Amino acid sequence: MTARRSRHRSAAYAALALGLAGSLALTGCNSHSSKKSKKSSSSSSKSKKRKIIGGGAAAAGAGAASRRVPDCYPSTYKLTFSQQTGPKSHVAVKFKNSTSRDCKLYNAPLLRFNNAKDPLPLSQGTPGHLDGTRITVPAHGYAYAVIPTNTAATKGTEQKSVTVDFMGISASSVTHGPATVIFAEKRLHISVGKSKVTNWSSSIHGAQLAGGVGK
């Protein structure tokens, strides 16, 4: 009986040891699986954050691109010339932005009357020394420049046509052009002599003041 009981106890201890070993192994597997799951979840979360951040940067870049303002360009139907008489006589140059987007104008218009080799001088700076004027013309808005003609020398003689280029940001650059306006076709009588043209202005009053012919 004693030997039999001893064998039974040995068998029971062995079974208990196997059970404990299995339980510990299972616990280790569960723990390892849990760690893997946490790591995977963390990695997925970081990936989502990176996607969101990257998407936000791309959206910001697209927004900045859509906010870029293009240069204005001349055409015969966007440019109007008119002669004012009297002590404050001058020629007004009006540009209309006929598009649905804002556009930029730099410095002054380059005007060559009757196919002159050189453009009319600038009253604010010179082609080689610009003062950096830059205005934004709103969609369907206007910009103005003025040519004073309040003396016999500046009024000169009647012109037949004018070729217009739009200056760029630098002294030697031209953004768009040329556009040629034939005055006879528009039934205009424009007289310009040894005068100068002002920079672009957002208002006719501002252009007149810059040309010394404002009220």
Residues 78 and 180 sit within 8 Å (Cβ to Cβ):
no
Sign of CA pseudo-dihedral 172, 130, 79, 113: negative
Q: What is the mean pLDDT of the chain?
A: 76
Torsion sign across C-alpha atoms 194, 120, 105, 94: positive
Structure tokens at 92: 């007004």
Q: Which residues does 214 contact at the CB level (< 8 Å), separation at least 6?
A: 88, 205, 208
152: alpha, beta or left? (left if phi > 0; alpha if psi -120 to 50):
alpha
Query: Residue with structure tokens 């015969």?
Result: 76
In 3D space, the residue among 189, 186, 213 whose CA is nearest the CA of residue 201 turns out to be 213
The answer to whether the CB of 183 falls within 8 A of the CB of 146 is: no
Considering only 16-25, 48-57, 78-87, which range has the smallest mean pLDDT? 16-25
Per mean pLDDT, which range of 75-79, 88-92, 126-130, 209-213 is the poorest?
126-130
Residue 59 pLDDT > 50, yes or no?
Answer: no
The answer, yes or no, to whether residue 26 has pLDDT greater than 70, is no
Q: What is the mean pLDDT of residues 130-143?
A: 89
Between 15-29, 95-109, 188-202, the lowest mean confidence (pLDDT) is in 15-29
Q: What is the pLDDT of residues 184-214, one digit of tens each?
A: 998 999 999 999 999 999 999 999 999 999 8
Assigned token pair, 147: 């040519």
Whether 52 shows a pLDDT value over 60: the answer reads no
